[in-house]
Every structure is written in structure tokens, then in C-alpha cells.
Amino acid sequence: MRRTVYLPVLTFPHAPTQRALDAALQAAQVVQADLSATVYSADLPTSSASIAGLVIGVSDMIAKVENDSRATAEVLAATIRRLAEGKGVTAEVETRAALPADAKGALVRAARYHDLVILPWDPDNLTGKEVAEAVIFGSGRPSLIVPEGSALSSLRHVTVAWDGSRVAARALADALPLLADTARLTVLTVDDDKTLEADVGTRLTEALRRKGFEADHRALSGNGRPVAHTLQEASGQLGADMLVMGGYGHSRMRDFIVGGATLGILAHPTLPILISH
């Protein structure tokens, strides 16, 4: 059975860099999946504004934004096809025009038909962060954030952020099918911001060993630093290829209230991170 991954791309107001797309395609190659990508250009409503009795038409401005967005979408679609061919990844790439808000809803729904969503990440792209939040909390599928400066080269060593919770268990279950039997897993526990069961890390380590994986446990102390920083720093020091973690968040008044560790990861991911909610 072939694994399929989804790559959602918005061009408005910020488009991902070619470097970020290259890192995303590299991840698709590593997880040995076929790729489906949708590149959305902006379709904006035509309107006009009146200031001090002067009607200022904005249709020309809107038309320029739409034309620029469509041109960018075509370039990005061609870039994805070229990168996929170069990496030996089978890819289906389409372009669509939609209102930005409608596009986010559409890509969330499309993500549900795939095994994994790959999210290209560059630090200056706020649109990418919005897409990530929408997909992580709305699609019901695992999402792999791939920073442009930290491409996924292998899955030989994976760290697992673990607190025994439902979302952590969900993330681990989503990650295991991506791994070879020879993969090494390091379980990371951080008890600075919550009280964990005394043996929560060792229990998971033993469970992974029973599955045949090489596994060990590291109990971390953040010393007052954000949990996201502690987890990523430890993963980097251990030479991990990817961090696996649950995405914490809930809906209040139709807005997502994102947990502290998840918020920190979305603010500044430093290595490929698989998140499930």
C-alpha cells in the first residue's frame, strides 16, 4: 500500500520560499510517499471605499493582487513538480483560486484524505503558520512541520515528547508507521509545567522495546525555560532526525486556544516535528 502525503500552499499574502518547498519535498522522499499538492492563489472580492466623499476604486489594485498571486501560484506549482521529479517523488499538483479564508477550509478538508500533511516552514511566513494551525487542529491528520533550514534526511533516530496523554499517544501511533524496525526512539519527559506519573517515561520505553525498537528515556528539566525550547534543544543535542509530539489546543468561542508547548513549537521549530491533535 502506497502512503500519500498532502502539501497545502497559499500564495497570499505570503508564499513559501523555494528552500522551504525543497525541504518539504525532501520529507516526502524520506517517508516514501506519493505527493498531492494544492497551490491556492487569491480570489478577492471587488469593492470600493469612500473617504470624505471621494470614492476610491480599488478594483485595479485587487486585479493586480490577483494576477500576481496567480503568477506566483503557477511558478510554485512548476517548482513543486520539478523538485518532485528530481527527488523521484510521484506528485500531483494543482492550482486553484479562492478567497483566503475559503482556501484554508478547503485545504483542511483535503488533508483528511491523506496519511500525512507536510507543512513547509520559513520563519518570516505568517501565512504558513496560519495554515499549520488550521491543519493541525482541523484536519484530524498528523502534520509534519519541516523548517527550511532543517530538512529531513532520514528517520534513523526520533525523539518522542511524552506525558502519557491522549494527544501524545495519538502522535506516537501516527509516527510509528513511518519508521523502520531499525529506528531508534528516545522518549523525552519534561515535568516542569505539569506533574507526571513517576514511571511514565520508562513504561513507554519498555513498550517500544517490546515492539522491537531500540529505545531509551531521558527525563529533562527546563529550569524555567519554555517546554518547546527544552524538547527541541534535547532533540538537537541527541542528533534526532525528527521530534514527535501531541498538539495541545481546544476551541473557545470558535478560536483555538493553543497549549504552551505547541505554541512554542509553532513559533520557532528548529527541526522536523510531527504533530498530531
Provide the phi-psi class of 88: left if phi over 0, else alpha when psi is between -120 and 50, else beta. Answer: left
Final residue before a domain boundary, out of 124, 147, 170: 147
Lowest mean pLDDT among 32-36, 48-52, 55-59, 239-243: 48-52
Dist. CA 157–CA 184, nearest whole Å = 5
pLDDT tens by residue, 87-96:
999 999 999 9
Domain end call among 99, 120, 147: 147
- The answer to whether residues 129 and 196 belong to one domain is no
Based on the fold, state whether residues 127 and 173 are members of the same structural domain.
Answer: no
Name the pLDDT band for 47 (thresholds 50, 70, 90).
low
In this structure, of 22-31, 41-50, 194-203, 262-271, the range with the lowest mean pLDDT score is 41-50
Residues 190, 213 within the same domain: yes
pLDDT score of 255: 39
Judging by DSSP bridges, how do beta strands 91-98 and 33-42 pair with one another? parallel
pLDDT at 253: 33
In the prediction, which pLDDT does 49 show?
Answer: 53
pLDDT over 90 at 194, yes or no: no
Q: Enumerate the β-bridge partners of residue 190.
A: 220
Residue-range definition of the domain harbouring residue 178: 157-276
Q: Are residues 25 and 140 in the same domain?
A: yes
Give the chain's mean pLDDT: 88
Q: Is 252 a residue whose pLDDT tops 80? A: no
Does 8 sit behind a cis peptide bond, omega within 30 degrees of 0 on the bond before it? no
Residue 152 lies in a domain: no
Tell whether 115 and 233 lie within a shared domain: no
Which residues, in sequence order, are CB contacts of 48 under 8 Å at separation 6+?
Answer: 55, 56, 57, 58, 59
| CA 159/CA 217 separation, integer angstroms | 9
Element (H, E) at 26: helix 18-30
Task: Answer for the pair 241, 155: CB distance below 8 angstroms, yes or no.
Answer: yes
